[in-house]
């Protein structure tokens, strides 16, 4: 059954907003931009509706790059096949901040307020990430109550997990009123939404949080950790 967390209480981190805007840690925005960021962070709190949806599903079988879940949903990814081979369950999730911020960004763009729109867009990205962090913490607590741990979280479109597998996530949502739709290209609307999965299992020390890159042969990956 899909569980819902609505009106999630999150705190927007200004440093992270700056990072989305391209500022390095050692370079602060000039005062006028800093004030604009503060204003749009305040405005964002009025616009967002952070909500999370997740379903815990048992893993039935892992065969190399195919992970078959209870009910027949299938995850296809070499990297996830390795990660989930140590798990007994997954949390399939969707987190969103609603349409408010991006409607406002579109309006600002139409009015020619490009800088303000760019700042609000960055605030939206940070807010969606924080909403997903909140969900991940709840899943971690659920796992801990069962003497288990969670893996890192993974989203379709990253590593070797094809973006078209968004359809698996949406199928797992089982027509719950998530307020997020999928385009034919498998992009989410509203854009400030995050989907994916988190593995749950009982691991040897430190295994769960270690990098998936050790399973991956992709050459020259810029994200290799």
Q: Are 84 and 101 in contact (CB under 8 A)?
A: no
Considering the complex, state which of residue 119 and residue 208 has its C-beta at the smaller distance from ligand SF4.
208
Considering the complex, state which of residue 21 and residue 152 has its C-beta at the smaller distance from ligand SF4.
152
93: β partners: 54, 196
Lookup result for tokens 């962070």: 41
Q: Cβ 132 to ligand SF4, closest distance in Å?
A: 18
Considering the complex, state which of residue 69 and residue 159 has its C-beta at the smaller distance from ligand SF4.
159
Q: Cβ 223 to ligand SF4, closest distance in Å?
A: 4
Residue 152, token pair as written in the block: 């890192």
Considering the complex, state which of residue 167 and residue 218 has its C-beta at the smaller distance from ligand SF4.
218
- By CB under 6 A, name the binding residues for ligand SF4: 79, 159-160, 212-213, 216, 218, 221, 223-224
Q: Cβ 215 to ligand SF4, closest distance in Å?
A: 7
Q: How far apart are CA 175 and CA 1, in angstroms?
A: 11
Considering the complex, state which of residue 182 and residue 213 has its C-beta at the smaller distance from ligand SF4.
213
Nearest to 155, CA basis, from 178, 177, 136: 136
Name the burial class of residue 9, with classes exposed (0-12), middle (13-18) and buried (19+) by CB atoms within 10 angstroms of its CB.
exposed
Q: Where are the alpha helices (DSSP H) in the chain?
A: 14-20, 31-47, 78-84, 100-110, 114-145, 166-172
Considering the complex, state which of residue 189 and residue 216 has its C-beta at the smaller distance from ligand SF4.
216
Q: How far apart are CA 7 and CA 209, in angstroms?
A: 28
Q: Cβ 81 to ligand SF4, closest distance in Å?
A: 12
Name the burial class of residue 217, with classes exposed (0-12), middle (13-18) and buried (19+) by CB atoms within 10 angstroms of its CB.
exposed
Q: Cβ 207 to ligand SF4, closest distance in Å?
A: 15
Q: Cβ 15 to ligand SF4, closest distance in Å?
A: 24
């Amino acid at each position: 059954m899909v569980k819902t967390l609505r009106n999630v209480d999150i705190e927007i981190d200004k440093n992270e907003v700056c990072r989305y805007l391209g500022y390095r840690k050692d370079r602060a925005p000039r005062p006028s931009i800093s004030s604009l960021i503060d204003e749009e962070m305040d405005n964002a709190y009025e616009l967002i509706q952070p909500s999370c949806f997740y379903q815990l599903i048992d893993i039935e079988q892992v065969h190399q790059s195919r992970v078959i879940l209870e009910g027949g949903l299938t995850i296809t990814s070499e990297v996830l096949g390795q990660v989930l081979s140590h798990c007994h369950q997954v949390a399939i999730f969707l987190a969103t901040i609603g349409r408010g911020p991006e409607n406002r960004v579109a309006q600002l763009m139409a009015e020619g307020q490009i800088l303000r729109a760019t700042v609000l867009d960055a605030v939206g990205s940070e807010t969606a990430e924080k909403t997903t962090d909140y969900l991940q913490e709840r899943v971690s607590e659920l796992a801990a109550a069962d003497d288990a741990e969670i893996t890192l979280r993974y989203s379709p479109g990253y590593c070797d997990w094809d973006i078209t597998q968004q359809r698996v996530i949406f199928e797992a949502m089982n027509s719950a009123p998530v307020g997020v739709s999928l385009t034919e290209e498998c992009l989410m609307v509203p854009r400030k939404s995050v989907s994916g999965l988190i593995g749950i299992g009982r691991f040897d020390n430190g295994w769960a949080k270690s990098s998936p890159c050790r399973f991956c042969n992709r050459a020259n990956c810029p994200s290799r950790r």
